[in-house]
Amino acid sequence: MRYATPLVAAILLCALALGGCTGTRTAEFNRGPARVADPSPEQMRHAQMVIRVINEFRTANGLPPVVLEAHVMKAAHDKALDFRKNWRFYHAGSDGSSPSQRVARTGYDWVEVGETLSAGQITARGAVGNLKASPCHRFALLRDVYLHAGAAYLYAPDSPPGRYKHWWVVKFARPSSEMTWERTYPTAGAELTESSKRTRMRQPRGCVIREVVS
């Protein structure tokens, strides 16, 4: 049976000992210290569009944009390929890997990692719009701690019956070299309570899986 509505899922991962000092921001497409194969032009086009739409949303809510990063891009692409291989709409990989482990495999030393999954939307704007409509995923898109992002789009016309043909992965990350930062608070207007606007956007109950590592 085909799913009645598009699917979304999100996971946020964090490390211990996060403080409160100002960090630095990277270039438009940060390659980092490890050698990572560049995404294809088509992959980059979809990734750039997804991140562009997300950054429009972040900017409208008073947050700085995230920056495409090669290692995070590769982790997103690997997850998309795993979709095609196993048709599993889960954050856990077919090999049992977690989102943070897939980022670490690329050589990216992370302190915060987030992953959102979406299926069934034809366009990047539609995929992000679906994420924005869910409190859990909206929270992920508007987290102030993220500096880097990567995205992947998979079109699978050979999907089995009952499976979507359009799959999207968006990953967010903050490197361990930026373990401390000065928080920037989102300003989502009437959609946040006055109390939330004075402090920070509240984490919605029951919708975020948090993995803590030392």
pLDDT, tens digit only, all 214 positions of the chain: 333 344 444 444 433 222 222 222 333 344 443 444 566 787 778 888 999 999 999 999 999 999 999 899 999 988 888 777 776 766 777 778 888 888 999 999 988 898 888 888 889 999 999 899 888 888 889 999 999 999 998 887 777 777 778 888 999 999 988 865 444 444 443 333 333 332 344 555 544 434 333 2
Q: Structure tokens of 158?
A: 């050979």
Taking the C-alpha atoms of residue 42 and residue 85, their distance in angstroms, rounded to an integer, is: 20
Q: Residues with Cβ < 8 Å from 121, sequence gap 6 or more?
A: 6, 127, 129, 130, 166, 168
DSSP string, 89-118: -SSS-TTS--HHHHHHHTT--EEEEEEEEE
Determine if the pTM surpasses 0.85. Answer: no
> What DSSP designation does 42 have?
H
Give the chain's domains with CATH numbers: 17-23+45-190+198-213 (3.40.33.10)
Is residue 51 left, alpha or beta, with left meaning phi > 0 and alpha meaning psi from -120 to 50?
A: alpha
Cα Rg, the chain, nearest whole Å: 16
